[in-house]
């Protein structure tokens, strides 16, 4: 069993470069299915979810050449299947991203119900309701979703009940090959959607308004391969910024490789908590705060406070001078991290979708279990400031979204290492 062991109390300094965005790279890889030929993606993160998506694409006939650690060449010329392998897509939520491209290329798709972190309801109904408006019919059996556009995809007006990122992306990828114009109202506005639209337009699509609540797509008959660079990962950047707020030395740490405007609300909340930072070229320099002020946070769709940063900022709230409330509006199971932080000495009470947090003087190292991707990374960050040693298990969650996480922290000065210990279940 692999664990991450952290010795608290070591100051951080220097510069860390974040990898390409996980939530963008996976959708860009899926979008290559819309064309026939070789598409090159650069700045792709070397993480477990990318490896799984690569296997999904290979399973339906794509060929992938790894040019270097962060560059993939994806050849979709031989793709002749619209069925994604169950054993792969069931591993992650992003599996649904192949549905739109397969429908756009073949008019059919068969995928497993999505897997990934156990964060609650998947809202797959938003994907289905939106695609039905474009002429797709659905049926489900034995854990599979069967989608067919028998008469072809036809542009239409789609109003989403909730600005779902996945549903918006699937609709855009299907609509670029539909006949006529599609208008998505109440679309998600995340930077990763803008990145997807940018690549699609480079491929010959006509997508307007990405990054706003109204996206208009004029369908085209054909797309062509391109070379595209994945944007920097704002959530990885935010994770390192929280680490810096906790343990940076006097000079601070510099987090680079991302667009600071993509973390606008996170930076605003950090500022309200007493954290000092300044924007620099392609990133942010942040200093350790002498004390944290309490602040109330609600997770909301972009540009609101991202649910993927909730666990990390909860660490700061746990050490603040007073009481804070974090309200989770996106995933109902996102507070599983809180019980592990309590094991480290935090004072947190969960009331429905609210976490009521009373600041304590310090945290203590403990044996904790990563409950999901972001919660696992947050526990490692909490270990940086905790007294003594923290051991984080179930770190396969972290591997899904953070590239060389312990190595990057160690390069900043953290006493952190990945090690293998006997599995207690196996004795």
pLDDT digits (tens, 9 = 90+) for 8-45: 999 999 999 999 999 999 999 999 999 999 999 999 99
What is the band of 90 on the pLDDT scale with cuts at 50, 70, 90?
low
Task: Please report, in angstroms and rounded to a whole number, the separation of the first and last CA atoms in the chain.
Answer: 11
Higher-confidence residue: 192 or 125?
A: 192
Give me the pLDDT at residue 96, please. 81
Q: What is the pLDDT of residue 423?
A: 76
Domains of the chain: 2-19+232-420 (3.65.10.10), 22-229 (3.65.10.10)
pLDDT category, 362, cuts 50, 70, 90?
very high
**330 labeled binding residue:** yes
Dist. CA 377–CA 340, nearest whole Å? 12
What average pLDDT score do residues 148-166 get? Answer: 95
Average pLDDT over residues 94-119: 79
Q: Is 229 known to sit in a ligand binding site?
A: no
Span 168-187, mean pLDDT?
98
Q: What is the mean pLDDT of the segment spanning 261-284?
A: 96
Percent of the chain with pLDDT over 70: 95
Residue 119 confidence (pLDDT): 35
Greatest C-alpha distance within the chain = 64
Q: Considering the candidates 36, 117, 189, 280, report the single residue annotated as catalytic.
A: 117
Per-residue pLDDT, averaged over 98-117, amounts to 84
Active site residue 206: no
Alpha-carbon gap, residue 292 to 59, rounded angstroms:
49
Per-residue confidence at 118, pLDDT binned at 50, 70, 90?
A: very low
Distance of alpha carbon 231 from alpha carbon 15, whole angstroms: 19
Contacts of 73 (CB under 8 A, 6+ apart): 38, 39, 40, 64, 65, 67
* Confidence at residue 116, expressed as pLDDT on a 0 to 100 scale: 46
- Pairing mode of beta strands 181-185, 206-208: unpaired
Report the pLDDT value the prediction gives residue 112, as an integer from 0 to 100: 79
Averaged pLDDT, 92-112: 87
Q: What is the pLDDT of residues 286-317, one digit of tens each?
A: 999 999 999 999 999 999 999 999 999 999 99
Report the run of H or E that residue 112 belongs to, with start and end.
Answer: strand 108-112
249 known member of a binding site: no
- E strands, 32-98, are 38-42, 63-68, 71-75
In this prediction, residues 49-65 reach a mean pLDDT of: 94
Give me 160's structure tokens.
């989403």
pLDDT at res. 401: 95
Structure tokens at 31: 């979008």
Q: Is 220 exposed, middle or buried (0-12, 13-18, 19+ CB in 10 A)?
A: middle
Coil, strand, or helix at residue 273? coil
Residues 6+ apart with CB under 8 A from 5: 389, 390, 391, 392, 416, 417, 418, 419
* 117's tokens: 């972190």
Per-chain mean pLDDT for the chain:
94
Residue 120 in tokens? 């609650």
Give me the pLDDT at residue 120, please.
41
The CA distances from residue 115 to 20, 41, 54, 89, 249, in Å, are: 22, 25, 16, 7, 40
Q: Taking 80 as the threshold, does the pLDDT of residue 89 lie above it? A: no
Token code pair at residue 364: 């203590």
């Amino acid at each position: 069993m692999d664990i991450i062991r952290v010795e608290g109390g070591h100051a951080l300094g220097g510069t860390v470069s974040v990898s390409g965005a996980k939530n963008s790279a996976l959708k860009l890889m899926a979008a290559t299915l819309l064309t026939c030929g070789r598409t090159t993606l650069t700045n792709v993160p070397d993480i477990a979810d990318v490896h799984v998506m690569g296997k999904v694409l290979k399973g339906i006939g794509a060929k992938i050449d790894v040019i270097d650690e962060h560059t993939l060449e994806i050849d979709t010329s031989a793709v002749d299947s619209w069925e994604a392998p169950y054993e792969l897509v069931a591993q992650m939520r992003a599996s649904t991203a192949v549905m739109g491209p397969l429908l756009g290329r073949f008019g059919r798709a068969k995928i497993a119900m999505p897997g990934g972190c156990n964060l609650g309801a998947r809202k797959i109904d938003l994907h289905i309701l939106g695609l039905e408006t474009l002429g797709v019919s659905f049926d489900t059996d034995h854990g599979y979703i069967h989608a067919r556009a028998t008469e072809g995809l036809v542009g239409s007006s789609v109003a989403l009940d909730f600005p779902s990122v996945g549903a918006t992306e699937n609709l855009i990828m299907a609509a670029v090959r539909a006949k006529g114009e599609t208008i998505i109202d109440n679309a998600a506005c995340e930077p990763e959607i803008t990145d997807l639209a940018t690549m699609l337009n480079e491929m010959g699509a006509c997508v307007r308004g990405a990054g706003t609540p109204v996206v208009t797509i004029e369908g085209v008959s054909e797309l062509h391969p391109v070379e595209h660079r994945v944007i920097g990962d704002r959530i990885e950047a935010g994770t390192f910024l929280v680490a810096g707020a906790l343990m940076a030395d006097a000079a601070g740490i510099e987090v680079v490789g991302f667009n600071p405007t993509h973390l606008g609300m996170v930076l605003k909340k950090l500022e309200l908590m007493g954290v000092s930072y300044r924007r620099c070229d392609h990133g942010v320099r942040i200093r350790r705060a002498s004390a944290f002020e309490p602040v109330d946070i609600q997770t909301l769709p972009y540009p609101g406070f991202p649910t993927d940063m909730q666990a990390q900022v909860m660490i700061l709230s746990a050490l603040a001078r007073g009481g804070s409330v974090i309200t989770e509006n996106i995933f109902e199971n996102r507070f599983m991290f809180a019980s592990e932080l309590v094991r480290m000495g935090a004072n947190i009470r969960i009331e429905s979708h609210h976490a009521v947090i009373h600041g304590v003087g310090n945290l203590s190292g403990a044996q904790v279990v990563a409950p999901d991707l972001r919660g696992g990374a947050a526990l490692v960050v909490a270990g940086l400031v905790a007294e003594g040693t923290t051991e984080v298990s179930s770190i396969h969650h972290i591997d899904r979204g953070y590239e060389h996480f312990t190595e990057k922290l160690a390069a900043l000065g953290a006493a952190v290492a990945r090690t293998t210990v006997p599995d207690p279940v196996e004795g």
